[in-house]
Amino acid sequence: MFQNLKLGVKLNLILLSVFLVIILLNGLLLSNVLQKNAEQEVKDKALVLIEVMTSVREYTSKQVNEGTIKKLSPALEIDGQFAKTSVPGYSAREVFSNLQKRDQYSDFFYKEATLNPTYIRDKADKFEANIVENFRENSDLKEQVGFRSISAGDLFYIARPLQIKSESCLVCHSTPDRAPASQIKTYGDQNGFGWQLNEIVGTQIISVPASKVFEEARRLQLLVVGILAAGFIVAAVILNLFLKVSIISPITKMSKWSRDVSTGDLDADFEHKPNDEIGVLAASVNRLKVSLEMAMNMLKQNPDHS
């Protein structure tokens, strides 16, 4: 079947198959690499941010709460108000909301998702509560990562357990009567109490937008496929032109010429200038024509020789 096709069709079929194989390999390999890169990029962002937020918590706990405010006002009251700035969870949230005001971070999220939170906005939703349960059931688990889809697109999240490691946390989170009166005035006495030492009360979860990064990877892949396709089209056009000029058209001419010769038109030589294989063939057929001519002449002069 393939053998019966014209040279040009054969060449284009071969080119097309090579192109398809390369596109397929490119698809498998490149999309894998780009996908991994994109994943690494969002992971790196999330990782840096979660470390920064943990540092903010530590700073507030050690330097703001114990180091400054508690010394100035043991009841953690400033101007008759609860000193919120002494609370690690508060400062972490405020720092992050400042970050979110910058355009490029507006769709990043940070939450200290807690099963029984002091501040109700920190209440874990179903998805986050599941993550907390996993940490509670498996104490070796130090991190959970994954993707979560929301209406605005895909988010990549890193979650770490929030564990009560120090007795000092329990001043405000065990029973309302131990907590500063001003805290109760601000946050009430219903939520964020009854926590135990070493209990995992929630998860610190950071989410970074992933859709854009993955779109970028897909765009890059399309661009590579586009460049490859354009390269193949240019190569195909050049090869087709070359095939036509150097092989097909001389061969077509030669077959017309030999048809003429076979019907007795022995006047013209076959003309082909380039010194390539077709040129060699042309020289041979011209010699063949001369021999044929000589044989015919001999035949004409000596008719009874046959």
Interface with ligand HEC (CB under 6 A):
61, 76, 84, 86-90, 93, 112, 114, 117-119, 122, 162, 164, 166, 168-169, 171-173, 183, 187, 192, 201-202
Rg over alpha carbons for the chain, rounded to the nearest Å, is 41
Question: b vs e for 28-38, b when ≥16 Cβ sit within 10 Å of the residue's Cβ?
Answer: eebbeebeeeb
Closest by CA to 100, choosing from 208, 241, 254, is: 208
**Tokens (6 digits) for 229:** 């396709």
Smallest gap from Cβ 87 to ligand HEC, in A, equals 4
Smallest gap from Cβ 63 to ligand HEC, in A, equals 13
Smallest gap from Cβ 103 to ligand HEC, in A, equals 25
Smallest gap from Cβ 167 to ligand HEC, in A, equals 9
Return the number of the residue (58 or 276) whose C-beta is nearest ligand HEC: 58
* Amino acid, res. 114: T
Return the number of the residue (88 or 250) whose C-beta is nearest ligand HEC: 88
Return the number of the residue (64 or 208) whose C-beta is nearest ligand HEC: 64
Q: What is the distance between the alpha carbons of residues 236 and 241, in angstroms, rounded to a whole number?
A: 8
Cβ neighbours of residue 200 under 8 Å, at least 6 residues apart? 132, 135, 136, 161, 162, 163
**Tokens (6 digits) for 173:** 């989170």
Smallest gap from Cβ 44 to ligand HEC, in A, equals 25
Return the number of the residue (41 or 199) whose C-beta is nearest ligand HEC: 199
Smallest gap from Cβ 45 to ligand HEC, in A, equals 23
The CB density around residue 112, as the number of other CB atoms within 10 Å, is 25
Return the number of the residue (22 or 164) whose C-beta is nearest ligand HEC: 164
Closest by CA to 163, choosing from 130, 133, 203, is: 203
Q: What is the distance between the alpha carbons of residues 165 and 29, in angstroms, rounded to a whole number?
A: 46
Cβ neighbours of residue 271 under 8 Å, at least 6 residues apart? 282
* Amino acid, res. 224: V
Return the number of the residue (32 or 175) whose C-beta is nearest ligand HEC: 175
- Confirm if 42 and 156 have CB atoms less than 8 A apart: yes
Q: What is the distance between the alpha carbons of residues 61 and 19, in angstroms, rounded to a whole number?
A: 62
Smallest gap from Cβ 146 to ligand HEC, in A, equals 21
Q: What is the distance between the alpha carbons of residues 18 and 6, in angstroms, rounded to a whole number?
A: 19
Return the number of the residue (187 or 214) whose C-beta is nearest ligand HEC: 187
Smallest gap from Cβ 196 to ligand HEC, in A, equals 12
Return the number of the residue (187 or 270) whose C-beta is nearest ligand HEC: 187
